Amino acid sequence: MTKTAKTKSQVHSYCYQCVAGPDILKVEIEDGVATQVKPSFEIADVHPAGGKVCVKAFGLIQKTYNPYRVLTPMKRTNPKKGRDQDPGFVPISWDEALEAVCGKLNKAREEGLKDASGYPRVAASFGGGGTPTSYMGTFPAFLSAWGAVDMSFGSGQGVKCYHSEHLYGELWHRAFTVSPDTPLAELIISFGANVEASGGVCGIKRHADARDRGVKRIQVEPHLSVTGACSAEWVPIRPKTDPAFMFAMVNVMLHEIGMARLDVPFLKNRTSSPYLLAPNGFYMRDPASGKPLMWDLKTSRAVPYDTPDADPALEGSFKVSGQELGPDQVIWNHDQVDCCPAFAALVNHVKDYTPEWAAEICGVKAEQVRSVANQFVDHAHIGETIDIEGRTLPFRPVAISLGKTVNNGWGGYECCWARTLMACLVGGLEVPGGTLGTTVRLNRPADNRWTSVKPGPDGFMHFPMNPTKKGEWKSRSSSRHAHETLIPLAANSPWSQALGPTHLAWMMQKENFENMPDATPPDVWFVYRTNPAVSFWDTKSVSEVMAKFPFTVCFAYTMDETNYMADILLPECTDLEGLQLIRIGGSKYVEQFWEHSGFALRDPASPPAGESRDFSWIATQLAKGTGLLGAYNTAINKGAAGVRLMGENFDFALDPDVEHSVEEIWDASCRAASAELTDGAETQGLEYFREHGFRVKKFPKLRWYLSPALEDQGLRFELPYQERLLRIGQELGDRLHEQGINWWDRQLKEYEAMPHWQDLQKLWETALEDGFGIKIGDYPFWLITARSMQYSWGGNAGLQMIHEVASNIAGHKGVIMNPSAAAKLGLKEGDLIEIASPLGKTKGPVVLRHGIRPDTLLMVGQFDHWETPFAKDLHVPSMNALTPMMLELTDATGSGADLVKVKVTRLGGAA
């Protein structure tokens, strides 16, 4: 029998399953079936990683044809919800599904967008650090048309993100995430940052190039991660003691190395170091202008911070008269009181944080700490400059990066502060080779770090804090986790809800918090590309809470642990079936530093499976069914789907009153994108993008660095002293106490002008002892987790191919343990053990590796699935079931850390 020759073609697409994307790719199609994912070398000259594609993208073929996909709309027939309840899903038509969903929405709308507690009746949870928007087509336009939506039910946000870095990073240097300037760096000190697992193709390429040219990276973390493996040195530090290590580095720089070898001009002119501190800890100010004062060595008098040609003192103590501005506009007048510069206060602040002190805490040698600090200064090239696109900038090729659990939860503030401070000490913040921000999410505009730099108070950048002053503070937040009430730094941008204390949203559903509005469940909860029943903490409690939600709509791929509790399942086209245009380039998360920006198309490589529908079609139908078509189309026209359809030189706006097809919407978007990139000169639409896949224009490399934007406006980085935080902390405390809220007092203590060391291990242990009535000595191990490049963010635990290739890397099948610790317990490789925290227990096989501290256990990734097909049969443990959500373990930014104490019991021999 002669086989018919196969017809082959290719389409352009992208993978944005994780925040380190998007990876631009091509999909090969044989006889109408998508068969292969390939790198896109057409974009090699534009893409920072040469058009290469991450391993996760190769799972997309199986993802498309997964036999376990939900392929028709389904409705629940069992009104009871819970893990022990069979939902009894039965297929229904799209008409019936949309009618059910729109019926609930319309009822909610009739009753008012917000409920009696002031919370939006509609809630939505999306996963993956904002990446679902690259797959949900025009759904953001529907949400925009709808109005208030609560996005506070997290699926990992806050507890598993770079939370402190997000908030403090944006405050200090417009750094939603922070990255070394890897292509120029000489020395990178990485505290648990696992860039080789989470940096995506760009991160991995940049660091591989750096290693090739001899960069030195020192990895400080309790286990030898993939990134540790790729580093020149591994320092196995005790979990959650990183602040001590960093404080001691600062101590070495200030007390051993000395100011003469630091970047004094940078400290004087680009930071708050010279600002004089008044007796109550706030800046001494010029009574006339209200500006902070500094001591001018030229004139030997206090002058406002922006006095031209002043030579401010960094050290010493000076008799100064002036005003001090406290919380809620309280003013203290001072006459000839002793004031020291913030820098001098810093020197004093860290004087006891010696390497010997840190060594005891961190379980490392004092000489290691000392050596790391010295290397940091040695490699800083202080005084050198480099030319970037015609502008001369300082060249400081040293940087510190922070990983998860280091930069979130208690201790996150200390670490973020110390890291950014050390960059300042050598003048390496936001300059070539140094420590850079990547993108902004709280400040505006979100697509331009430079223009987000606006003058704020006291010579610093403006930051849109949630108000804390009397009369301005919001006692009722628009979200169920109270981000506007509790977290000034979370701001209130569209991203802020995701950056609030998302576990509080779940916790408050279980127990009302004193003097807060009743924690009502949302009338309608949308869920897309997330599975908080597995990916959040205390997964049992989270599942129980979502089981109580009255009406849950899940855009379902396969059955999973979250949509098991749903009322309606809507099958949308997956990655390779949907059509969408997204923005690419510029500087974005992790290590996405492009020299171009523009747009890329996700062109369907396979027809929709079963009754699945393009997400934009679903969004349009929801808009129609709720009578919001006009607002929805208008939102699209305004750019809610990624690109404004009208500009100075073009207008491809959709008729608001008419239903538009998916292709019409994206054709208009493509035309607007072409016009935007060419200032209206070209207006090619969908066909152009289908042929070429992407379209870009140059993005100035100079904009990778924020320092020019500050310099041009004469602004300073708000370091080392956090006078503003000190003030708002006190204001917040007053507001909360006025409201009768005392349960946030522990968090208020974090509002320090310069953070002090706190024993974080003890903090955890005490919280667990108090919370669960256990003896912490019975739980001898610290349990931590690590990213898996093959899995992280991918929602792909149900894909066989991913499991197969990930299994080549140690730890994907069990619990990593040090052999000496195992020997003490009589455990051997492969033994089945139970791992129990005070909250719960799980089990898995022992994987013995020398690259982990004996007091620490590691569970890679997030598994513990019990419903997701294929994944549920893997029997791989996850720490999520063991990690409690506790107020005591919530920091002032509202985040927690992946850390818990556990004990181990042998259940049986190797399988």
Least separation in angstroms between residue 13's CB and other proteins is 14
Q: Which of 71, 72, 147, 211 binds other proteins (CB under 8 A)?
A: 211
Least separation in angstroms between residue 757's CB and other proteins is 24
CA distance 817 to 903: 12
Written as one letter, the residue type at 64 is T
CA distance 816 to 808: 14
Secondary structure percentages of the chain, helix, strand, coil, to 5: 35, 20, 45
Is 346 a binding residue for other proteins by CB under 8 A? The answer is no
DSSP E strands, 112-243 = 122-126, 178-180, 187-191, 216-220, 233-235
Is 244 a binding residue for other proteins by CB under 8 A? The answer is no
Nearer to other proteins, 6 or 756 (CB): 6
CA distance 590 to 608: 32
Stretch that binds other proteins, among 222-230, 280-288, 527-535, 641-649 (CB under 8 A): 222-230
Q: Which of 11, 34, 545, 662 binds other proteins (CB under 8 A)?
A: 34
Nearer to other proteins, 362 or 628 (CB): 362
Q: Which of 58, 410, 594, 617 binds other proteins (CB under 8 A)?
A: 58
Cα–Cα distance list, 102 to 129, 174, 299, 567 (Å):
27, 40, 72, 13
Nearer to other proteins, 36 or 475 (CB): 36
Least separation in angstroms between residue 830's CB and other proteins is 9
Under 8 Å between Cβ of 69 and 609: yes
Q: Which of 179, 818, 837, 895 binds other proteins (CB under 8 A)?
A: 818
Nearer to other proteins, 337 or 805 (CB): 805
Q: Which of 75, 91, 148, 216 binds other proteins (CB under 8 A)?
A: 216
DSSP-assigned beta bridge partners for residue 334: 322
Query: Rg of the Cα trace of the chain?
Result: 27
Please name the residue ranges forming H helices in 739-853: 745-748, 760-772, 800-806, 819-824
Q: Other CB atoms closer than 10 Å to residue 777's CB: what's the count?
A: 10
* Phi–psi pair at 125, nearest 5 degrees: -125, 125
Nearer to other proteins, 448 or 796 (CB): 796
Under 8 Å between Cβ of 374 and 250: no
Nearer to other proteins, 58 or 353 (CB): 58
Stretch 270-309 residues interacting with other proteins (CB under 8 A) = none
173 CB-near residues (< 8 Å, 6+ apart)? 420, 429, 430, 435, 436, 437, 706, 717
Stretch that binds other proteins, among 33-41, 250-258, 306-314, 831-839 (CB under 8 A): 33-41
Interface mask toward other proteins for 184-203; x: CB under 8 A = ------------x----x--
CA distance 151 to 144: 13
Q: Which of 820, 907, 908, 909 binds other proteins (CB under 8 A)?
A: 820
Least separation in angstroms between residue 785's CB and other proteins is 17
Q: Which of 209, 691, 745, 759 binds other proteins (CB under 8 A)?
A: 209
Is 804 a binding residue for other proteins by CB under 8 A? The answer is yes
Least separation in angstroms between residue 34's CB and other proteins is 7
Least separation in angstroms between residue 74's CB and other proteins is 19
Per rule CB under 8 A, count of chain residues that contact other proteins? 74
Least separation in angstroms between residue 642's CB and other proteins is 26
Least separation in angstroms between residue 784's CB and other proteins is 16
Is 826 a binding residue for other proteins by CB under 8 A? The answer is no
Is 215 a binding residue for other proteins by CB under 8 A? The answer is yes
Stretch 121-180 residues interacting with other proteins (CB under 8 A) = none
Is 332 a binding residue for other proteins by CB under 8 A? The answer is no
Q: Which of 71, 113, 148, 230 binds other proteins (CB under 8 A)?
A: 230
Strands 33-39 and 23-30: antiparallel
Strands 524-528 and 122-126: parallel
Is 350 a binding residue for other proteins by CB under 8 A? The answer is no
317 CB-near residues (< 8 Å, 6+ apart)? 338, 339, 340, 344
Is 38 a binding residue for other proteins by CB under 8 A? The answer is yes
Least separation in angstroms between residue 605's CB and other proteins is 11
Strands 781-786 and 856-860: parallel
Closest CA to 58 of 30, 6, 23: 23
CA distance 4 to 429: 62
Q: At what angle do helices 539-548 and 502-510 cross, to 10 degrees?
A: 70
Nearer to other proteins, 2 or 808 (CB): 808
Is 394 a binding residue for other proteins by CB under 8 A? The answer is no
Q: At what angle do helices 615-625 and 94-111 cross, to 10 degrees?
A: 50
- H or E, element range at 572: none
Q: Which of 232, 331, 681, 907 binds other proteins (CB under 8 A)?
A: 232
Nearer to other proteins, 228 or 844 (CB): 228
Written as one letter, the residue type at 154 is G
* Cis before 720 (ω within 30): yes
Is 745 a binding residue for other proteins by CB under 8 A? The answer is no
Q: Is 228 helix (H, G, I), strand (E, B) or coil?
A: helix
Closest CA to 871 of 525, 535, 527, 503: 535
Q: Which of 390, 773, 808, 826 binds other proteins (CB under 8 A)?
A: 808
Half-sphere exposure for 376 (CA within 13 Å, toward CB):
35
Nearer to other proteins, 214 or 308 (CB): 214
Interface mask toward other proteins for 64-103; x: CB under 8 A = xxxxx-----------------------------------
* Phi–psi pair at 654, nearest 5 degrees: -80, 150
Under 8 Å between Cβ of 524 and 511: no
* Cis before 394 (ω within 30): no
Is 358 a binding residue for other proteins by CB under 8 A? The answer is no
Least separation in angstroms between residue 202's CB and other proteins is 9
Is 427 a binding residue for other proteins by CB under 8 A? The answer is no
Is 19 a binding residue for other proteins by CB under 8 A? The answer is no
Least separation in angstroms between residue 215's CB and other proteins is 5
Is 824 a binding residue for other proteins by CB under 8 A? The answer is no
- Can you give the three-state secondary structure of 664-727, one letter per residue? HHHHHHHHHHHHHHCCCCCCCCHHHHHHHCEEEEECCHHHHCCHHHHHHHCCEECCCCCHHHHH
Q: Which of 15, 49, 314, 832 binds other proteins (CB under 8 A)?
A: 49
Least separation in angstroms between residue 51's CB and other proteins is 9
Q: Is 76 helix (H, G, I), strand (E, B) or coil?
A: coil
Stretch 840-879 residues interacting with other proteins (CB under 8 A) = 847-854, 869-870
Is 829 a binding residue for other proteins by CB under 8 A? The answer is yes
Closest CA to 263 of 132, 389, 385: 385
Q: Which of 133, 134, 198, 231 binds other proteins (CB under 8 A)?
A: 231
Stretch that binds other proteins, among 11-19, 82-90, 207-215, 334-342 (CB under 8 A): 207-215
Is 25 a binding residue for other proteins by CB under 8 A? The answer is no
CA distance 442 to 175: 10
Q: Other CB atoms closer than 10 Å to residue 4's CB: what's the count?
A: 7
Nearer to other proteins, 190 or 479 (CB): 190
Nearer to other proteins, 205 or 441 (CB): 205
Nearer to other proteins, 237 or 641 (CB): 237
Stretch that binds other proteins, among 59-67, 491-499, 641-649, 885-893 (CB under 8 A): 59-67
Least separation in angstroms between residue 826's CB and other proteins is 15
